[in-house]
Chain A
Amino acid sequence: AQSVTQLDSQVPVFEEAPVELRCNYSSSVSVYLFWYVQYPNQGLQLLLKYLSGSTLVKGINGFEAEFNKSQTSFHLRKPSVHISDTAEYFCAVSEVGGSYIPTFGRGTSLIVHP
């Protein structure tokens, strides 16, 4: 069975600074990887996904993530954050050929200060 670890529960950063949110996973088979964002009082929305191919994946709102198989990581990055990026970010993994049910991490709260 797969598992996901988001190493930071909270990441404070100043506006226009770069940010990286870390995600590590564990699985004995190939995986699909997702990042979701949750704004206050809303449901989760897909930011980006890695299915196969290029390990650098670009998503909405200027975010990107890199799949690193050897380190079993899928870190999310943005070169310059805005106040509006303040939200909760969830990493999720599902196994190729396995059940269709993804496992979600505990989430990382990104707090952007002016």
Chain B
Amino acid sequence: DAGVIQSPRHEVTEMGQEVTLRCKPISGHDYLFWYRQTMMRGLELLIYFNNNVPIDDSGMPEDRFSAKMPNASFSTLKIQPSEPRDSAVYFCASSSEGGNQPQHFGDGTRLSIL
């Protein structure tokens, strides 16, 4: 049973460049979450989708960040333009409907903005 798949695993790019992170959730899961993890701020929820519809993007730090979910099996998180302070590990997670359902995390994308 395939888990949540994220790509790329590592991304190094220069400030000002556009960055696109990709996620394939577990088939049949209704919810998809994007998180950012840093030493300073811990695990932060950026945005989540229910049935491909963005429900809450209040965690998105700035307008430079955007996320889409064009279908049930694919989501992207885009940063344009990127800045050094965006360097972090970005996780995608998915879950079935219900607060009693655990989240299933991908292995993350380690992003470094030079």
Contact = CB atoms under 8 A, between A and B. Distances in A.
Interface of A: 32, 34, 36, 41-46, 49, 51, 90, 94-102, 104, 106-107
B4 A43 contact: yes
A52 to B, nearest CB: 9
Interface stretch (B12-20, B75-83, B90-98): B90-98
A104 B43 contact: yes
A73 B103 CA distance: 21
Contact of A107 (B42, B98, B106): B42
A101 B87 CA distance: 25
A43 B106 contact: yes
Interface of B: 4, 31, 33, 42-43, 45, 48, 50, 56, 91, 93, 95, 97-108, 110
Interface of B: prevailing SS: strand
Given A41-B108, A97-B99, 15 more contacts: A42-B108, A43-B91, A44-B91, A44-B93, A44-B103, A44-B105, A49-B102, A95-B99, A98-B99, A100-B97, A100-B101, A104-B43, A106-B42, A107-B42, A107-B43
Contact of A43 (B31, B93, B100): B93
A75 B111 CA distance: 33
Contacts of B91: 43-44
